[in-house]
Amino acid sequence: MLVLNGPNLGRLGIREPDVYGSATFDDLAALCRETGRRLGLSVEVRQTDDEAEMVRWVHEAADGRLPVVINPAAFTHYSYALRDALAQRTAPLVEVHISNPAAREEFRHTSVVAGVATGTIAGFGMTSYVLALQAVAGLLAEDPARP
């Protein structure tokens, strides 16, 4: 399965630590891989600041029937290209956010990708990713025919 991260998340630990905490992207990737191991999931963690690359990764996941946990970051609020790619999903898709967008600036209140996601988890810091991976594992366990 893929854990995909959008713009500026590679700067975790440096970028607005009062909002995103002091853990680095490497810390996040290690947490996701370890959580995946505990849940019996093979987890690959990626980050990009490039919308086209993110869309290619989503197409790869759809073609491979791979579950996805995605933090679209700024793409959340305006990327209809990403939303349309995610709508082609063939496996569980969980949107995740470190902070709670609804408790932040008004422009962050709208997610154009939420409507095509299985569900959204936000506001629990890095634990949001753990919860998202647990949700994917649960969905896969409920329906063994799911990829």
Indicate the helix (H) or strand (E) that contains 70: strand 68-71
User: Is residue 63 within 8 Å of residue 79, measured between CB atoms?
Assistant: no
The angle that helices 25-39 and 127-142 make with each other, rounded to 10 degrees, is 30
Q: Is 99 annotated as a binding residue?
A: yes
Q: What are phi and psi of 42, to 5 degrees?
A: -90, 115
Which among 92, 69, 87 is positioned nearest to 141, based on CA atoms? 92
* Residues acting as catalytic residues: 20, 97
Indicate the helix (H) or strand (E) that contains 62: helix 51-64
Q: Is 77 annotated as a binding residue?
A: yes
Binding annotation for substrate: 71, 77, 84, 98-99, 108
Binding annotation: 71, 77, 84, 98-99, 108
